[in-house]
């Protein structure tokens, strides 16, 4: 298909002479492909390209841009140009853009929009970031329960150009309370005279305005639905979350969890475009905090200084043992964090999981103990072999249990489990590892502490 060929062609769109030729070239491109070009050129050229398109396509392409690129372009445009695009944008996307503009810019823009648009933007941009309300759109179709399938189809045909989806419509009563959902497929199959209330599906899920966006996205995935209705506190329909926005949330949340696990603060843009100062700030805080956790490890070593002084080769095994504690802990923590995030594991599963983790980590610990025992025997004889094997086994079990439990503990304290990152687990496992290892060494080797 056309797109494939375009991709292979190493063309420089800006080198094209004549507006007409450029227009011909971009006319049939998919919005997402145009965005790939726009993101790599200066804002002046981006607008030169974009302005060649009809206004509805301008809005579609604009919506596909990253939010930071949208803001840059919005600031470059004349107020009237921006207002025209914003008028054509879908409700959720323009509210997002509006939220990123400065109060001053918002004030300047408002008078250029119609009353209805101003109210829509105000309403949609009033919900806190991260909630279902903040990602929903108001461009959905509603039906009355007493209409026939034919009447409903006629209405959808008329409204289709302005709605984000007509594949799922919502049935509401006079107070706009949600009664059910109707798929376009069922309308098309239905007898034209059948009433909507007989066709509609009442088992579909819904979310509340202030439910998290993750919750909304997870429902969309769970129920394989094209759109999820969002209700206010009086069970009235106020918006829908569409599958494509849900998909973005799934990706965004996974990225955030990844970053949290390495203790990186929230990045507003992708890492490719993040400023140095932002990267610095979002990374340095936890690194500094972890230094203080590591002081305890140092203090542990200090406490056993005489043991080390009495038998210096013990230091050889220190990185291996505390490293293994951290690695085993990181494994359990990662398994749990991800399983909690995807809903695979819940609070009530904790007891059963601990029991299993003890067995798994015992098996792993024994295997690793056998391995280091050989190294220990080679390096320092039977006693050292015993010390490192015993330490390894205990350390792996303790590390695993810390890794397993920390995410649950944090979830219970209503902190995001992903904060039980690998570095935190590793640092905590380090302290434990030092104490266990040198404690066992001093006992077995009969060294004074």
The stretch among 79-87, 92-100, 132-140, 286-294 that binds a second copy (CB under 8 A) is 286-294
Q: Which of 116, 110, 50 is nearest to 79 (CA)?
A: 110
Which residue, 122 or 343, has its beta carbon nearer to a second copy? Answer: 343
Report in angstroms how near the CB of residue 274 gets to a second copy at its nearest: 9
Three-state SS at 434: helix
Closest approach, Cβ 388 to a second copy, in A, equals 11
CA distance 283 to 266: 10
Q: Which of residues 365-384 bind a second copy (CB under 8 A)?
A: 367-368, 371-372, 375
Q: Which residues pair with 137 in a beta bridge?
A: 240
As a whole number of angstroms, the distance between CA 355 and CA 334 comes to 18
Question: Residue 147: in which H helix or E strand, if any?
Answer: none
Applying CB under 8 A, which of residues 259, 307, 394, 408 lies at the interface with a second copy?
A: 259
- Which letter does DSSP use for residue 239 in this model? E
**Stretch in the footprint of a second copy (CB under 8 A) among 11-19, 92-100, 191-199, 259-267:** 259-267
Whether residue 73 contacts residue 116, with contact meaning beta carbons closer than 8 Å, is answered with no
**Cα–Cα dist 274/165, whole Å:** 33
| Binds a second copy (CB under 8 A): choice among 339, 354, 445, 447 | 339
Per CB under 8 A, the segment of 106-114, 116-124, 330-338, 407-415 that binds a second copy is 330-338
Site string for a second copy, 97-136 (x = CB under 8 A): ----------------------------------------
C-alpha closest to that of 362 among 317, 409, 326, 399: 399
**Which x/- pattern, by CB under 8 A, does the window 223-242 give for a second copy?**
xx-x----------------
- Least Å distance, CB 32 to a second copy, is 5
Q: Is 266 in the site for a second copy (CB under 8 A)?
A: no
Binding mask 402-431 vs a second copy (x if CB under 8 A, - otherwise)?
A: --------------------xx--xx--x-
CA distances from 40 to 10, 33, 43, 46, 426 (A): 14, 12, 9, 9, 40
Name which of residues 132 to 161 contact a second copy (CB under 8 A). 153, 156-157, 160-161
Nearer to a second copy, 210 or 318 (CB): 318
Q: If binding is defined by CB under 8 A, does position 202 make contact with a second copy? A: yes
Figure out which of the listed residues 268, 280, 382, 412 binds a second copy, where binding follows CB under 8 A: 280
**Total binding residues toward a second copy, as defined by CB under 8 A:** 118
40 binds a second copy (CB under 8 A): no
Kindly tell me the burial class for residue 283, based on how many C-beta atoms sit within 10 Å of its own C-beta (0-12, 13-18, 19 or more). middle
Among 100, 176, 236, 283, binds a second copy (CB under 8 A): 283
By CB under 8 A, name the one of 58, 204, 213, 442 that touches a second copy. 204
Q: Is 291 in the site for a second copy (CB under 8 A)?
A: yes
Q: In angstroms, how far is the first alpha carbon of the chain from the final one?
A: 75
Is residue 222 at the binding interface for a second copy, with CB under 8 A as the rule? yes
- Separation between Cα atoms, residue 424 and residue 375, nearest integer Å: 29
Which of 19, 51, 102, 262 lies at the binding interface for a second copy (CB under 8 A)?
262
> Cα–Cα distance between 181 and 80 in angstroms, integer?
38
* Binds a second copy by CB under 8 A, chosen from 135, 149, 152, 166: 166
Return the residues of window 300-329 that contact a second copy according to CB under 8 A.
301-302, 305, 308-309, 312-313, 315-320, 322-324, 326-328
Q: Name which of 160 and 382 has its Cβ closer to a second copy.
A: 160
In DSSP notation, 103-135 reads: HHHHHHHGGGS-HHHHHHHHHHTTSPTTBHHHH
Indicate whether 94 belongs to the interface with a second copy (CB under 8 A): no
Judged by beta carbon, residue 101 or residue 326, the one nearer a second copy is: 326
Contact by Cβ (8 Å): 412, 347: yes
How many of the other CB atoms lie within 10 Å of CB of 338?
18
């Amino acid at each position: 298909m056309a797109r494939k060929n375009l991709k292979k062609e190493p063309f420089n769109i800006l080198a094209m002479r004549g507006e007409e030729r450029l227009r011909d070239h971009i006319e049939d491109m998919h919005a997402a492909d145009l965005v790939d070009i726009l993101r790599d050129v200066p804002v002046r050229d981006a607008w030169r390209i974009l302005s060649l398109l009809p206004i509805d396509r301008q809005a579609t392409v604009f919506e596909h841009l990253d939010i930071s690129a949208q803001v840059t372009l919005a600031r470059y445009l004349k107020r009237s140009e921006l207002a025209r695009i914003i008028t054509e944008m879908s409700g959720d996307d323009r509210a997002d853009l509006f939220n990123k503009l400065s109060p001053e810019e918002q004030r300047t823009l408002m008078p250029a929009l119609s009353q209805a648009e101003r109210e829509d933007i105000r309403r949609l941009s009033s919900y806190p970031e991260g909630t279902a309300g903040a990602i929903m759109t108001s461009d959905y179709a509603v039906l009355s329960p007493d209409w026939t399938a034919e009447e409903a189809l006629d209405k959808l045909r008329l409204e289709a150009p302005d709605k984000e989806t007509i594949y799922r419509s919502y049935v509401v009563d006079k107070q706009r309370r949600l009664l059910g959902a109707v798929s376009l497929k069922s309308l098309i199959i239905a007898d034209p005279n059948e009433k909507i209330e007989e066709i509609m599906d009442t088992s579909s899920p819904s979310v509340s305005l202030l439910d998290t966006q993750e919750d909304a996205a997870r429902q969309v995935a769970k129920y394989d639905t094209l759109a999820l209705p969002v209700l206010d506190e009086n069970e009235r329909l106020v918006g829908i979350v569409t599958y494509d926005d849900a998909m973005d949330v799934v990706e965004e949340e996974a990225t955030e969890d990844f970053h949290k696990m390495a203790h990186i603060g929230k990045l507003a843009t992708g890492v490719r475009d993040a400023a140095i100062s932002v990267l610095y700030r979002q990374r340095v805080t936890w690194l500094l905090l972890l230094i203080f956790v590591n002081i305890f490890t140092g203090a542990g070593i200090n406490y056993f200084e005489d043991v080390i002084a009495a038998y210096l080769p013990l230091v050889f095994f220190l990185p291996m043992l505390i490293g293994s504690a951290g690695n085993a802990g990181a494994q359990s923590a990662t398994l749990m964090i991800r399983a909690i995030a995807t809903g695979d594991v819940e609070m009530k599963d904790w007891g059963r999981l601990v029991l299993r983790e003890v067995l798994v980590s015992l098996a792993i610990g024994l295997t690793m103990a056998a391995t280091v025992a050989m190294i220990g025997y080679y390096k320092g004889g039977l006693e050292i072999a015993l010390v490192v094997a015993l330490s390894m086994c205990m350390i792996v079990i303790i590390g695993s249990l810390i890794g397993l439990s920390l995410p649950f503990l944090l979830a219970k304290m209503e902190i995001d489990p992903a904060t039980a990152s690998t570095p935190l687990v590793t640092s905590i496992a380090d302290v434990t590892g030092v104490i266990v290892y040198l404690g066992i060494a001093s006992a077995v080797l009969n060294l004074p502490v």
